[in-house]
Copies of this chain bind each other. A is one copy, B any other.
């Protein structure tokens, strides 16, 4: 196995992923949301209950900037704070009902676009795709050696 070739395939692959996700998420009819704010909401949607520090780490935002964006999301009533009962410095963030509803709509719109990408795939191909996603998640991406 040629590891250099694999690397080049990987680079081309990630570039494609970026382009496709951009296509899937562009022009979603959410009033007045910035790309980063969307990413934060997406992250919260996927991960349910998280702290600002986690958002900062995972989305590579500084704490002050994370704090600012979370404040904006709170002002728009899409997320809310939940205090940690043990450590009073910490708090958690979750979607409000309004936020959940809004993300549901967004995901429905994105899903429609996604389904179009796979509409001509047979069941066997879909199963192949599912396995491929799982393989990459477990064999590459979860190995992340995060260095600060």
Q: Which residues of B contact A15 (CB under 8 A)?
A: 42-43, 46
Is the Cβ of B111 less than 8 Å from the Cβ of A7?
A: yes
The answer, yes or no, to whether A19 is at the interface (CB within 8 Å) is yes
Report how many residues on chain A are interfacial, defined by Cβ distance under 8 Å: 60
Segment at the interface with B among A70-78, A83-91, A93-101, A118-126: A118-126
Q: Which residues of B contact A9 (CB under 8 A)?
A: 130, 133-134
Known: A126-B1, A130-B6. A139 touches B116 (CB 8 A): no
Q: Which residues of B contact A21 (CB under 8 A)?
A: 14, 18
- Can you report 5 A-B residue pairs in the complex whose CB atoms are below 8 A from each other? A6-B129, A10-B133, A116-B145, A120-B143, A129-B136
Q: Which residues of B contact A1 (CB under 8 A)?
A: 123, 126-127, 130
Say how far A12's CB is from chain B's closest CB, in angstroms.
Answer: 6
Closest B residue, CB atoms, query A116: B145
Interface centre among A7, A43, A115, A120 (most CB of B within 10 A): A7
A14 to B136: give the CA distance in the assembly, Å: 11
